[in-house]
Amino acid sequence: MKTALLLLMFVAPLHAFDKALLEEHLRESYRLPGDLSVAFSDAKPSPVPGFDLVEVAMTRGGMEQGEKLYLSKDGRYYLLGDFKDLKVFPAQERMKKVDLKDAPSRGKADAAVTVVEYTDFQCPYCRKGYEIMRDRVMKDYAGKVRWIYKALPLGFHPWAEPAAVAVECAKLQGHDKLWKVHDAIFERQGDIDASNAEEKFTEFAKAAGADPKAFSDCYDSKKTLPAVKRDAAEAESMGINGTPAFLVNGRLVSGADYDAIKDAVEASLKKLR
């Protein structure tokens, strides 16, 4: 009997809380629309003293978004979102989530500053971001910056994901070929549409020196789509949902803004000095 009671203590939730009351308070506090459904997990331990953690799932129109909610032990006070820990810097936490293994890069491998760019090939602002990185950042900070490419095709751009798949197919034949196709897509962005995308990507791959048949087999089978999805999921894990987005040694810069990127690079170099 004692063993059974101990088992129940471990598997039972930390404490019961009034989910209906919490939902009502959330809806009124945050003016949640009526057609948005809210579901709570049971309370579980959190790293914040005095608070338990509740996972909140908000669903609307078939789309679900997860949020964290911290609930005081007595069930009275809550915080929707994350506490900030002064001992943990956001830039460091972001870089821990970035997979740099076999990541295509430009610049010195041991450069002091790493700029990870999440981009969408159909996005006009991403073309500007590409030009800023190529013509300004990589020249102004030659030898000091390493530029990493990551895919983040947005759902409302019909040929953005196929372009990312094509670039990854070029990567299978060499990082140099990836960058050549990457550059060609941005430089010829205005010539591409959903009807001619495959033709253009094949043309760019051939000009880059890739084997046309191997490229076409890869592209037609969407062999590299999982790699594209991994990049997008990585961005999402950091709350990045717009393009272009840059991580400058982990510091987030949203949009094609040279001054903001420059400030982040300078801050990183100053910190290292």
Report how far residue 86's alpha carbon sits from residue 89's, in angstroms, rounded to the nearest whole number. Answer: 7
Superfamily covering domain 91-272: Glutaredoxin (3.40.30.10)
Radius of gyration of the chain (CA): 23
At 84 the pLDDT is 82
Tell me the pairing of strands 78-80 and 63-72: antiparallel
CA nearest to 218, candidates 230, 193, 201, 196: 201
Query: What DSSP string runs through 242-258?
Result: SSSEEEETTEEEESS-H
Q: Evaluate the omega torsion of the peptide bond into residue 104 and state whether it is cis, within 30 degrees of 0.
A: no
The structure's pTM equals: 0.75
Query: What DSSP string runs through 39-65?
Result: EEPPPEE-SSTTEEEEEEEEEETTEEE
Q: Which residues contact 251 (CB under 8 A, 6 or more apart)?
A: 91, 264, 267, 268
Residue 203, both tokens: 């043309």
CA distances from 89 to 46, 67, 250 (A): 19, 20, 9
Q: Which residues contact 176 (CB under 8 A, 6 or more apart)?
A: 208
Reading the chain (273 residues) residue by residue, the pLDDT tens digits are 444 333 333 444 446 899 999 999 999 999 999 899 999 999 999 999 999 999 999 998 888 889 999 999 999 999 998 888 888 788 999 999 999 999 999 999 999 999 999 999 999 999 999 999 999 999 999 999 999 999 999 999 999 999 999 999 999 999 999 999 999 999 999 999 999 999 999 999 999 999 999 999 999 999 999 999 999 999 999 989 999 999 999 999 999 999 999 999 999 999 887
At 64 the pLDDT is 87
- Which sequence spans correspond to the domains of the chain? 11-80, 91-272
Q: Which residues contact 46 (CB under 8 A, 6 or more apart)?
A: 52, 53, 70
The edge-to-edge listing of strands for the beta sheet with 245-248 is 105-106, 145-151, 113-119, 245-248, 251-254
At 255 the pLDDT is 96
Cβ-based burial of 94 (10 A; exposed 0-12, middle 13-18, buried ≥19): buried
At 175 the pLDDT is 98
